[in-house]
Every structure is written in structure tokens, then in C-alpha cells.
Structure 1
């Protein structure tokens, strides 16, 4: 049964001074619940990211869709998305600085049990949550959907606290199977508990029902795959249940 939820926007500021606006969703509950940050695709903190936060709340988790670009900027155009994303790569600390601010903001909410935190990321957001985990953030679980796997710096043994689940499309032309192999090597070298699930016939963006529309408008190789989306979400919720509880 889906829970009754509440939502609100939360303004917060990263250590680099960027004003950020998160979208918070939580179940109506008398006791604090586990918290999950949701890191967006390169389009920005859009309705899709907010939808995923609401779904998490209906499953019993408090969720914060985090803002990585500032002032909740969003776009549907690849050139603009690419420009904003690349700006967060200019300083190697930007991604972790802004994601850490989002995680701290989530943990500070009265609805949240700050001892039970996780992170989910889509596309660019996959890199965001993986780099956050690599930084040693207090996360119990991290899940990426068609995420960018290349690290800012490889994970170090003993630093990553999260169990990591990577959900990847076999036909993803933006994140190759070689990238996946290198990621597995990184995880094994750092002795990190992890799982990689590869969905046959799925492309980059497989979890987003708007992927085909965005692909056509921008001439990029994206594709929605309902079966992969549902299997991925089931695997995500299973890991969250295991690591965070109901």
C-alpha cells in the first residue's frame, strides 16, 4: 500500500557557495525514517527526479532530489545540459562538495534517521553518487541507473561504507561494457561489496520514459526500456530494504 506523503522544496548552500534547491518527499510518519538522496540526469533536477523522490517516499523513505547546477536549473537540450555538467567537472571537488551538501541537508530534516542514509543516481547522477561514496560519505547503499562509472579518483580500501548496485544497459553507447569491466576491477581492488546487473537490449537512459523523446529531439542514443526500468527499481528497493530496513 502506498503511503501518504508530503513534499517541500528546501534551499541550501554548498561549501563552494552555490545556492541549491532540493525537492524533499517523505511519508507521513511519527518516527524518523531512512533517507535517500536522488541525483539527477544531466538535464538537472527536473520532474523526473522529483517523481523518483515521491516514489521513494511512498515506499517509506525520506528522499531529497538534489540540485547539482544551482537554482534548480533544468533543460531538455543536450548542449545546455553538457555545458552545465562540464562546469561541475572544472574543479574536481565540485561534484562531491555539492552532493555532500545535499546529503547533509537530507540528514538534517526532522523526518530523517541520519544513521540510515543511501543515494540513488541516474546517468550523470550515477557519477555523482559513486564519487560521493568514494569520498567516504556515510552511506549504507548506493544505486546507479545507466550511470557514468568513471571515477574522479579510484576507490580506496576501507573508505567506501556503502554497498553498491550498478544497473546498466547492454546497448549503452555512452558508458561502455569496458567501462563496466574497469568499474568492477576498481570495486574488487578496494574490496567493496557490489553488484552489477546488465539488462539485455537496454540503452542509455532506459529508466526514463521520456528517453526516446529526448533522443529524437537531440540526436543522441537514448532509449526507454520498461522491463529494464521495472527490474532495476525492484533491485534498488531490495537493496534499500536490506541495508536500511523497511
Structure 2
């Protein structure tokens, strides 16, 4: 049974003073609910990521769709998306700094249980969620979908506290199966509990219904796969339910 929800924008700042504008979705009349950070694809905090936050709120979670570019900037095309994303790599601290600011904002909400927090991410947002966990944030779950799995600072045993779920397409040309194997080795070395699901006949961007439109428009190797999406999102909710029961 889905719950009635409320939504609002919420402003916060990173350590440099950059204004970030998140989108908070939460069930009505709830207290001490688990909190979920929703980390966006390279397009920015767009309608797709906001929809994911609302879906989580309908299931009883307080979800914050986060702003990684500042001032709620959205990329209007692939070139702009690439420039915005790469700007967060120029200073090695930026990704974790902005994700940490979002995390602190989420746990400060009076309807969030600060000991029950997860981070999920799509594409670039998967890296954001993973790097936040690698930094030692008190996360219980990290889930990624067609994600960049690379690490600026590899996970360390005892510092990475989350259980990890990775959903990856077998035909993803942007993140190779070799990248996935390297990620598995990183997680194993850090003694992290994780699972990796490889979906057959599935490309990058498979959870996003507009992936095919963007592939045609920008000449990128994306494709929506509704069956893989359904299975991957179901596994996310199973993990959240088990962890936060």
C-alpha cells in the first residue's frame, strides 16, 4: 500500500559555500523513517531522479534527490552533461564534499532516523553513492544502477559500512565487465558485503524510460530495458526492507 507523500525543495551548502538544491519527498505523518539519498545521472537532478524519490517516499522512506552541480543546474544536452560531471572531478574532494552535505541535510530532518540511511545512484550517481560510502559515511545500504564503479579512494575494511547491491547490464559499453570484476575485488578486499547482478541483453541506462530517446538524440549507447529495470528495482526494495525492518 502506497503512502500519501509531501515534496519540497531544500537548500544546503557544501564546504566551499556552493548552494545546492535538493528535492525532498517524504510520507505524511511519519517520524524516524529511514532516509535515502538519490544520486542522479550526469544530467543532474531532473524529473527522473525526482520520480525515484517520490516512489521511495510512497514506500515509507524519506528520500532526498541530490544536487551535484549547484543551483539545481540541469544539462540540456550530452556535451553539457559531460562538462558538468567532469567539473566535479577537477577537485578530488568535490564529489564526497557535496554528497556529504546532502547526507548531513538528510539526517538533520526531524522525520529521519539517522542510523537508518541508504544511498542509491544511477550512472554517475552510482559513483557518488559509492564514494560517499568509501569516505566512511554511516550508510547501511548502497545500491547502484548502470553505475560508474571506479574509486578515487578504494574502500577500506571497517570504514565502508554499507551492504552493496550493483545492477549492471551485460551489454553496457560504458562500464565494462572487467570494471565490474575490479569492483568486486575492491569490495572483497575491504570485507564489504555485496552482490552484483548482471542483466542479459541490457545496456547502459536501462532503468530510465527515456534512455532510447537520449540515445537517438545524442548518439550514445543507451537503451531502456523494462524487464531488467523491474527486476533491479524489486531487488532494491527487498534489500531496503530487509535492512530497515
TM-score band by shorter chain is over 0.9
- State the distance in 2 between where 1:76 and 1:139 align: 32
Matched, 1:222 2:241: no
- Aligned partners of 2:96, 2:200: CA distance in 1, in Å? 31
Quick one: distance in 1 between partners of 2:51 and 2:111? 19
Return the alpha-carbon distance in structure 1 between the equivalents of residues 29 and 170 of structure 2: 40
Instruction: Tell me by how many angstroms 1:29 deviates.
Output: 2.5
CA contact (8 A) 1:99 1:128 kept: yes
2:165 and 2:67 mapped to 1: Cα distance? 22
Shift of 1:76: 3.7
Question: How many Å separate the matches in 2 of 1:189 and 1:134?
Answer: 13
Match in the other structure for 1:115? 115
Partner of 1:54: 54
Structure-2 residue corresponding to 1:137: 137
Q: Does 1:21 align with 2:21?
A: yes
Contact 2:125 2:147 in 1 (8 A): yes
CA deviations on 1:190-209 (whole Å, 9 max, x unpaired) are 11000000000110000000
Tell whether the 8 Å contact from 2:75 to 2:84 is kept in structure 1 after alignment.
no
How do 1:1-246 residues align onto structure 2 when only pairs under 5 Å count? 1-245=1-245
Following TM superposition, the consecutive aligned residue runs of length 4 or more in structure 1 with deviations greater than 6 angstroms are none
Q: Offset at 1:157?
A: 1.2
Q: Secondary structure, in 3 states, of the residue corresponding to 1:45?
A: coil
**Structure 2 CA distance for aligned equivalents of residues 79 and 96 of structure 1:** 23
Long gaps (5+) in structure 1: none
Displacement after TM superposition at 1:177 (Å): 0.1
Aligned equivalents of 1:235, 1:174: Cα separation in 2: 23
Deviation track 1:23-66 (CA, whole Å, cap 9, x = no partner) reads 00001134220000000000000000000000000011000000
Using the alignment, how far apart are the partners of 2:76 and 2:215 within structure 1?
10
RMSD (Å), alpha carbons = 0.7
Structure 2 unaligned regions, length at least 5: none
> In structure 1, how many angstroms separate the alpha carbons of the residues matched to 2:117 and 2:224?
28
Checking the alignment, whether the CA contact within 8 Å between 2:166 and 2:196 is kept in structure 1 is: yes
Decide whether the 8 Å contact of 1:22 with 1:64 is kept in 2.
Answer: yes
Superimposed CA distance per residue, residues 139-180 of structure 1 (whole angstroms, 9 cap, x where no aligned partner): 000000001001012111111000000100000000000000
